[in-house]
Amino acid sequence: MAERKINRLKVTLAEKDKTNRWLADQIGYTEGMVSRWVSNTKQPPLEVLYDISLLLKVDIRDLIESNASVLKK
């Protein structure tokens, strides 16, 4: 069975009841770019990921955790 990719940014936004639009407004990127990040089409720069972790009040490691460790929780 193929391993399913879990996008931690998408999951964290949902857990925090935040939208792509909200995040885009907060960090100064377009909603389309944020959509690419949560769909694994592109990845945000590390500096931006750090800013996102501060906004969402999560450890940056929670946003970049591997699929394997997420599935074990």
The pLDDT tens digits for 20-62 are: 999 999 999 999 999 999 999 999 999 999 999 999 999 999 9
Q: How many CB atoms lie within 10 A of CB 65?
A: 15
CA-CA distance, 71 to 52, in Å (whole number)?
Answer: 23
Is 3 part of any domain? no
User: Interior CA angle at 16 toward 14 and 28, to 5°?
Assistant: 90
User: E strands within the chain?
Assistant: none
pLDDT tens sequence across 54-71: 999 999 999 987 654 444
Is 29 part of any domain? yes
Number of domains, the chain: 1
- Residue range of the domain that includes 63: 8-72
CATH number, domain containing residue 44: 1.10.260.40
